[in-house]
Structure formats: C-alpha cells, structure tokens
Structure 1
Amino acid sequence: MLAEATITPFKFFPVRVTKVQDLTPGFRRVTFHDPSLEHFGDPGWDQRIKLLFSTPTADARKLLGSTDWFGDWRELPDEERPPIRTYTTRYVRPELAEVDVDLVVHPGGTGPASRWLETAAPGDELLLLGPDARFDGEPGGVDFVPPARTEQYLLVGDETAAPAIAVMLEQLPADARGVAVVEVASAADAAYFPKHPGFEVRAVARDGGEHGSALVPAVEAAAGELAPEGTPQTVTEINLDTDLLWEVPRTAKGGAALEQTSLYTWLAGESNAVKTLRRHLVGERGIDKRTVAFMGYWRLGRAEN
C-alpha cells in the first residue's frame, strides 16, 4: 500500500550521494542528502537501516510511500525487485538533512552493493529505509540494550559490525569500561576505530585467512580476562539453513532483561563465527545468556536477498 501521508516506524528516503570518503583501505564513508532527512530518526547505537539499489530493470524509487515496505518489495516480480543491503548509521545530521553510512570495501566484489561502492560518486541516487522521527513510538532496529548498570562490556564483531561498534565507542559514557574485539581484513583498518578512555580496542587482522579465524581466538582470550568461568549453560544449537541467528535479551517493554550485570556482550558478524562464539561464551564459559546479545549479520556464501 502506498500512502505517503501515513507515518510508520520506518520510511523510505529518496537520497542522493553528496560525498564519498575513503577512511581506511577497508572502509568507505558515503554521505547521503535529501530534504526529507530532516525527519530521519536517530536513536543512536547500532541503528539498522537498509539501502535499496536500482538496477536496469528495477527502479527502487517505485517503493516510495510504501506503508508495508517488505510486503510491497516481496510482491514485485523478480526482475523488478531492487537488491537490499543492511547497514548501520554512522552519523546523522538532521539539521543538514544528511546521513553518513560507512560501508565495507570488497575489491572485485560481485554483489550489487560492492559493485556500486567501487564507483560510488556524488549524484548517485538510492533509496534509504530508516526510522521516521515523527513516529510516536519505538521504531525498532536497535539491539544494543545493556542493563542500566553494566560494569564491563565486551563488544565483538567483524568488519560488518565495525560501524556499530564505532558508534558505541563514541556514545558510551567516559566511565564505561570494556574491550572491543573486531576482525578486519588488514592491520591498516585498525585506524578506523575511535578511541574511548575506558576501552581497549583489539582490531585483529584476518590477512587473507578465513572469516572468523582471527576473531574467535581473540574473543576467547578477551572473555577469559573479563569473565571468570561459571557454570556452563545449555545452548540450543541453531540451524543456520532454516533459522535466524539473532537473539537480544529484552523485556516486553524493550528494555534490558536484567537491571544489573558484571559483563554485557554484544556480538555480531558472520553467522558461523557468531554461532561458534555464542557456544563458547554461554555453553563453555558459562556467561549468563541473558547478558549476551548475538546477531548473525550475514553468512558466508549467501547473499542477503
């Protein structure tokens, strides 16, 4: 259903690229602008958004005004369905009607987002799906929900989770304490992360190895430092072929599942690595599963849509 006047939690913004900036060899920042972005909601943290890419047979902007974006997108014929990719907002400037999104550079990538990013330039037009600030309620899309009193944080991810972790490092208060462990393609990408007075950022380079090969041992080491071994908990294994690897401890009202914890873990990235680390943290080390948020952002060998 198309009805532009209807205010929904998320809406489409018809954005245009105004700036492209290389931050490190593996990260590129794209600045989007449109007058409608004055209404872009910005709850911060790991706010998810989606970018839709037009193709010669699929005009993404036909979805403008949709009040059921996924249903309308899904009903399009295959050749008219624009590709979708999920990202995290990096900076939002509603007073300038601008949004920055940091994207991972995949040289020689064959996916629609990778191909577009190789030649992205001012003037490019995309469709951005994000929260509408005029919506009277909780729009969703934020999964960083630690207890109000958290003594330490363990932030974990690969390069796809790096923008979200960067936002957390900037938005957590100065007295927060913890470790961020992020797997990146090369050591040069470590420069991407902002500094936080209470965090040690451990950017481990994959250097051509398999995804997760550097992340898993680094997280196991960090967990051993931050959390003494507890009683191993039962972990229900998730079938990555049929089920979504995504669990965020919450109450029905959207808050954290506990009021206080000694350690809160936020874990996101390639699904197989996330699954392995979840098993280690909860099933082997015995960390309370109510303090572990885990999200399979993507799966090796499988496109998002």
Structure 2
Amino acid sequence: MGDQIPMLATVTAVRLLTPRMARITVVSDELQRFGYDGPDQLVRIFVPNGITDELTLPVTTAWWPELNEMPEASRPVLRNYTVRRLDRASGELDIDFVLHGHGATAGPGSSWAGQARPGDKIGLLSDGADYLPPVDTEWVLLVGDESALPAIAVILEQSPDDLPVVTLLEVEDASDELPLAGSGSVQWLHRGSGPRNEIALSTLRSMDLPGGTPYVWTAGEAGLATGVRRHLVGERGISKDRIYFCGYWRAAAAEPDDQ
C-alpha cells in the first residue's frame, strides 16, 4: 500500500457543474507531499461512515491494516476518485463527484459529496496514475462515461496539440455535458433511458478510426471498459498492450461511486 500517511483536508467550496456532478475544492498544508503521476491521477478519499460525523484517519504508513483494525463505528469509508486539479502552491485540490442522491443507489462517496459543505473534513492519499501513451503513439482514443469524465477532461487538457485524440463520452443527456479543452474530436452520446454502454459501444463499432499506431484509454462502468477492449482487440486487431482499461464500477452492484 506504499509508504504514505493519509492527510487531512478541509472543504472550502462546493460547486454544481451539472445537475449530476459537483466539484469540491479542499485545502491542506500537506498537499506539498501529494504524489502526482499523470492526468488520470487517483486519490483515495476517507470520509465519515454515516454512523458518526467525526472523521478518524489512520496515522501511520501502515494505514491499511490500521484502517481495518478500527472499530466499525469510527472506521472511515475509503473510495477512489480522480484528481481534477492539484495546486500545491495554494494547497488546493479539486475532485469532481458524480451525484446520485441518497439511499441504496448513491453509495457513500456520492452521499458525502451531495451533503458536503465548507468546513467539512476529508482524508486524502495519492494512489497513482495509468495514462501513459508509448512514444510511438500516433493517435489516442478515449472512451468513458460520467465517472471517467474528470480523468478524460484532464487528459485532453494535458495532451500535446499535435497528438490527434478521438473521444467518446456516454452520459445521460445534454445537461451532463461540460466544456472540454483540446482540438480533438469529442462525441457526446446520450443514453437517455436506454441501457448503459449500448450507445457508446455501438458508436465505436461503426466508427472509421484513424490509421497509424493508437493508444487507447477507456474507463467507467466495467461492461463499457471491457466491451471497448474486446471490440478493439477482436475486431480491429489492436494489440492488448496498446489499451488501458479500468472498470471504475459495476452496474450490477450499485450506481457509480468512484471517480
């Protein structure tokens, strides 16, 4: 689990980006030691468990066994999200949360974000990044859903101007769309009341993709990420080692509560 110690941060701002996504800004003097490895940088967050509003964090580098040894009543909830912005100079970090209200479909991360207010406490721990196009990459394909939108937004912001990027983003409707940087091709796909992943996968299957050597990054609901990889490897002949894929969440288990 690494040699890090969780750091305590304080919420300073909560801003609704869309009806279903909130940006939460936190500050901490300890962010100087927060590791940042790439545009899809993950952050482990520790939030109160709902039994108590108090936040108790592990205090050693053996934070994982320490967390598991805590009494259930005081043990914080641990989830992974994407770092939307890190400013070490000001000690600020932004995290974008997909909101799902409260109750069985929300999950603890979304529930916390939906109620977060300035002054609330949260624990943070850097958790690495995976976006790394090989040096011979001639174009990039990004495919994701709402939970992957923060990472895709940062990837586009940090992509070189001369690297072609094709992006497919499946969301519920037009109200979920956000301005994205970069000059590449971005398709917003609206599922509406239809099945998740269907419009993204069908659009990908019908696309004329660029020639040359690709790098693919796909994340979101597990069926989307695996479906993209299966199609590209099996029907497009793209090598598995050119594709990064990650299931952030599973529809069969719950609504998305990561990223």
TM-score normalised per structure 1: 0.76
Among 217, 239, 249, the alignment partner of 1:288 is 239
2:209 maps to 1:225: yes
User: Who is 1:196 aligned against?
Assistant: 182
Gaps of 5+ in 1: 1-7, 132-140, 228-260
User: Who is 1:272 aligned against?
Assistant: 223
Q: State how 1:135-214 maps to structure 2 within 5 Å.
A: 141-190=128-177, 192-197=178-183, 199-214=184-199
From the superposition, tell whether residues 44 and 27 of structure 1 become closer, same or farther in structure 2 (CA, over 3 Å).
Answer: same
Query: For residue 216 of structure 1, what is the amino acid of its counterpart?
Result: L
Cα distance in 2 for residues equivalent to 1:193 and 1:44: 21
Cα distance in 2 for residues equivalent to 1:275 and 1:40: 31
Among 28, 33, 50, the alignment partner of 2:27 is 33
Please list the CA deviations of residues 6-51 of structure 1 after superposition, one character each: whole Å capped at 9, or x if unmatched.
xx55431101100011112222110001111232232331011111
Contact preservation (8 Å) 2:45, 2:124 = yes
From the superposition, tell whether residues 211 and 74 of structure 1 become closer, same or farther in structure 2 (CA, over 3 Å).
Answer: farther
Contact preservation (8 Å) 2:170, 2:199 = yes
SS of corresponding position for 2:38? coil
Query: For residue 222 of structure 2, what is the amino acid of its counterpart?
Result: S
Cα distance in 1 for residues equivalent to 2:239 and 2:37: 27
Query: How far has the Cα of 1:57 moved from its partner?
Result: 4.4
Contact preservation (8 Å) 1:48, 1:142 = yes
User: Who is 1:92 aligned against?
Assistant: 86
- Which deviates the most, 178-187 or 70-79? 70-79
Cα distance in 2 for residues equivalent to 1:142 and 1:12: 18
Please list the CA deviations of residues 169-212 of structure 1 after superposition, one character each: whole Å capped at 9, or x if unmatched.
0001111102011111221222x141312x11111112122221
SS of corresponding position for 1:89? strand
Cα distance in 2 for residues equivalent to 1:91 and 1:279: 32
SS of corresponding position for 1:160? helix
Among 57, 69, 85, the alignment partner of 1:62 is 57
2:124 maps to 1:128: yes
Among 97, 104, 127, the alignment partner of 1:103 is 97
Cα distance in 2 for residues equivalent to 1:149 and 1:27: 35
User: Who is 1:242 aligned against?
Assistant: none
User: Who is 2:253 aligned against?
Assistant: 302
- Which deviates the most, 263-272 or 206-215? 206-215
TM-score normalised per structure 2: 0.89
SS of corresponding position for 2:230? helix
From the superposition, tell whether residues 76 and 58 of structure 1 become closer, same or farther in structure 2 (CA, over 3 Å).
Answer: farther
Contact preservation (8 Å) 1:21, 1:29 = yes
Contact preservation (8 Å) 1:58, 1:79 = no
Cα distance in 2 for residues equivalent to 1:183 and 1:287: 22
User: Who is 1:244 aligned against?
Assistant: none
Please list the CA deviations of residues 137-175 of structure 1 after superposition, one character each: whole Å capped at 9, or x if unmatched.
xxxx21111111211100111111110000000001111
Q: Give me the CA root mean square deviation.
A: 2.1
Identity %: 37
Cα distance in 2 for residues equivalent to 1:272 and 1:23: 26
- Which deviates the most, 85-94 or 275-284? 275-284
Query: How far has the Cα of 1:110 moved from its partner?
Result: 3.3
Cα distance in 1 for residues equivalent to 2:204 and 2:64: 35
Query: How far has the Cα of 1:100 moved from its partner?
Result: 0.6
Query: How far has the Cα of 1:93 moved from its partner?
Result: 0.7
From the superposition, tell whether residues 66 and 83 of structure 1 become closer, same or farther in structure 2 (CA, over 3 Å).
Answer: same
Cα distance in 2 for residues equivalent to 1:110 and 1:295: 21
Contact preservation (8 Å) 2:57, 2:76 = no
SS of corresponding position for 1:46? coil
